[in-house]
Amino acid sequence: MSLLVIGSLALDTIETPFGKAEYTLGGSATFISTASSYFTDEVRLVGIVGSDFPAAEIDFLKSKKIDISGLEISKTKKTFHWHGVYHTDMNQRDSITTELNAFEDFDPVIPEKFRNSEFVCLGNVNPEIQKKVILQLDKPKFVMIDTMNFWIEGKLPQLKETMKLVDMMVINDSEARMLAEEDNLLKAAKKIFAMGPKMLIIKKGEHGALLITKELIFSVPAFPLETVFDPTGAGDTFAGGFMGWLAKTKDITPANLKLAIVYGSVMASLAVEKFSLDGIRDLSRGKIMKRFDEFRNLTHFETVSL
């Protein structure tokens, strides 16, 4: 089934304890669409870039069979640029520069041929834009949105309006507590459900992620890695793997949601092993399944009677 992806495309400058990459491919839509392309060949991308966006990167997106009919190229502005520096523990980072550039004008009009998309993944953008996108669609089967503290603090009423229109929200643990005004994550989830979403993924960084619905709680660990080169885009890659699996299987049953969150975690764990998108640019099915099996072995245990 088709998967519509909305979000940012960027040229990032990333500094970590392992090195520096300047003006390298980034952005939520880039990570989501690339990760999901390994599961479905009907990925539809809507976003905006500037006149400086490398033609080679457009060719890369096309090589992953991503439909970029909805990609706008500004003739007057540059591509969104973010410069971040990660601390030694890789859990903290400082934003040095955020230049919205062309992304400041992002006001997506969904191409007619995209409006019948069954699955929709809305990256972390202004909730008013997320709502505008949803209202242009023809009854999608499943809509997931990402959000962050910036929107919770600055556009809470608008975010709550958008939340009424979605099936699932993905959010990190601190943001879930902020949104629900509740320290306990299970109680926070119940309060978020009352705002609209029927399902919730709570990302917990190095401690994995929680899938919570009204009937289900499922936890998946983060994959233990000796070296994390670049965590930028890990959450978006996770979302791409998750939504890519759902679009491939056309199945949103509890059992398949569990598989989807594992595949999301698999893709995120591969992404952070290299800078930018390099960890997921050219993956084989064998490499993805090897990491999937490693996840399964990590959490598998036998039942033994007391």
CB-count exposure of residue 196 (10 Å: 0-12, 13-18, 19+):
middle
Q: Is the pLDDT of residue 46 over 90?
A: yes
Q: Where residue 268 sits, what CATH number does that domain have? A: 3.40.1190.20
User: Could you report how far apart the first and last alpha carbons of the chain are, in Å?
Assistant: 46
- Domain boundaries, position 252: 3-8+29-46+110-299
What one-character DSSP code corresponds to residue 125? S
Rounded to whole angstroms, how far apart are CA atoms 289 and 173? 28
| Residues 193-221, mean pLDDT to the nearest whole number | 94
What's the structural domain count of the chain? 1
Least Cα distance to 141 among 121, 159, 123 occurs for: 121
pLDDT in tens, 79-136: 999 999 998 877 788 889 999 999 998 999 999 999 999 999 999 999 999 999 999 9
| Residues 17-26, mean pLDDT to the nearest whole number | 92
| Residues 167-175, mean pLDDT to the nearest whole number | 96
3-state SS assignment for residue 238: helix
- Reported confidence tier of residue 187, pLDDT bands at 50, 70, 90: very high
> Does 154 fall in a domain?
yes
Q: Is the pLDDT of residue 168 over 80?
A: yes
pLDDT for residue 63: 97
pLDDT for residue 44: 98
> Does 287 fall in a domain?
yes
> Does 96 fall in a domain?
no
* Angle of helix 28-36 versus helix 254-271 axis, rounded to 10: 120
> Does 17 fall in a domain?
no
**19-26 and 93-99 beta bridge pairing:** unpaired
> Does 126 fall in a domain?
yes
pLDDT for residue 140: 97
Neighbour order of strands in the sheet with 119-122: 66-73, 43-49, 3-6, 119-122, 142-146, 168-172, 199-203, 209-213, 217-220
> Does 188 fall in a domain?
yes
Query: For residue 280, what are its two tokens?
Result: 């997921």
> Does 88 fall in a domain?
no
Report the 10 Å Cβ neighbour count for 41: 15
> Does 58 fall in a domain?
no
